[in-house]
């Protein structure tokens, strides 16, 4: 991934926060049939310094077979993103030398993949994934709520994947390459967009401005 110094993030805690908040990622492999990509929800697990990504794929999905054969995975997590209009920059009124751009947050993970289809591993994986997204609900659903024979049948249709995180990179493009006045203009411009992504991006840029002051 192209990472200009302005946008590169190496704080693993910040990168892991993105993964936890946006667990649905694109799992990309390059095998004998060419490139393959699938949206897959992941769980971040493991001890500090030995983190792994865990997921499961449908058994008919050929991607797990490519991973089993040794294909190196690339996992792409996408967070907040939004179009940035050049009309928001203070520089527009000064020189008109401005162009549109797009702000976004992306985290990429590479590492060795292991395939696991044991009953115990799969049950633990679907239980962790479910609890990760159900715990905060007023009436959380649990895997144990479903009949055991039904769960067992469902597990026969999936295959587990664990990816050892050997490389993790992050790019937080939040207008850091613009002067303070331009970034303040972006914050104000996003406030008028009226959509959730714009508000989330506005909050991120405003927080970065308040933290750095530059």
Average pLDDT estimate for 163-182: 96
CA distances from 68 to 8, 13, 15, 113, 171 (A): 32, 29, 27, 7, 29
Is the distance from CB of 7 to CB of 171 less than 8 angstroms? yes
- Beta-carbon neighbour count of residue 115 at 10 Å? 15
DSSP-derived secondary structure for 93-128: HHT-----EEEEEEEEEE--EEEE--HHHHHHHHHH
* pLDDT cut 90: percent of the chain above it: 93
Between CA 89 and CA 34 the distance in angstroms is 42
pLDDT digits (tens, 9 = 90+) for 191-213: 999 999 999 999 999 998 888 76
pLDDT digits (tens, 9 = 90+) for 50-102: 999 999 999 999 999 999 999 999 999 999 999 999 999 999 989 999 999 99
Average pLDDT estimate for 179-200: 95
CA distances from 55 to 24, 69, 111, 213 (A): 10, 17, 14, 40
Is the distance from CB of 176 to CB of 10 less than 8 angstroms? no
Tell me what pLDDT residue 209 has.
87
pTM: 0.93
Packing angle, helices 148-155 and 119-134, rounded to 10: 110
Residue 214: pLDDT over 90: no
CATH topology of domain 8-81+102-176: Pnp Oxidase; Chain A (2.30.110)
Mean pLDDT score of the chain: 95
| 29 Cβ contact partners less than 8 Å away, ≥ 6 residues apart | 35, 36, 37, 63, 66, 67, 71, 72, 73, 74
Tell me what pLDDT residue 50 has.
93
Tell me what pLDDT residue 33 has.
83
Between CA 177 and CA 139 the distance in angstroms is 45
Burial class for 16, CB neighbours closer than 10 Å (0-12, 13-18, 19+) = middle
Instruction: Report helix, strand or coil for 156.
Output: coil
Q: Does residue 58 come out as left (phi exceeding 0), alpha (psi in the -120 to 50 range) or beta?
A: beta
Tell me what pLDDT residue 19 has.
98
- The DSSP output letter for 60 is T
Average pLDDT estimate for 135-144: 93
Between CA 146 and CA 77 the distance in angstroms is 30
């Amino acid at each position: 991934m192209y990472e200009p110094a302005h946008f590169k993030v190496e704080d693993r805690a910040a990168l892991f926060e993105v993964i936890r908040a946006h667990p649905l990622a694109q799992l990309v492999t390059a095998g004998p049939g060419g490139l393959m990509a699938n949206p897959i929800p992941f769980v971040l697990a493991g001890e500090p310094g030995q983190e792994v990504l865990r997921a499961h794929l449908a058994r008919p999905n050929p991607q797990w077979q490519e991973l089993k054969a040794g294909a190196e995975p690339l996992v792409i997590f996408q967070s907040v993103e939004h179009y940035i209009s050049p009309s928001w920059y203070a520089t527009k009124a000064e020189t008109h030398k401005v162009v549109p751009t797009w702000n976004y947050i992306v985290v990429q993970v590479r590492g060795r993949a292991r395939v696991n289809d044991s009953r115990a591993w799969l049950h633990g994986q679907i239980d962790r994934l479910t609890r990760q997204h159900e715990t905060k609900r007023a009436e959380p659903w649990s895997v144990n709520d479903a009949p055991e024979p039904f769960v067992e049948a469902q597990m026969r249709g999936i295959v587990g994947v664990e990816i050892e995180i050997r490389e993790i990179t992050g790019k937080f493009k939040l207008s850091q390459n613009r002067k303070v006045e331009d970034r303040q203009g972006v914050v104000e411009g996003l406030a008028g967009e009226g959509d959730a992504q714009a508000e989330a991006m506005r909050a991120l840029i405003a927080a970065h401005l308040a933290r750095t002051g530059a």
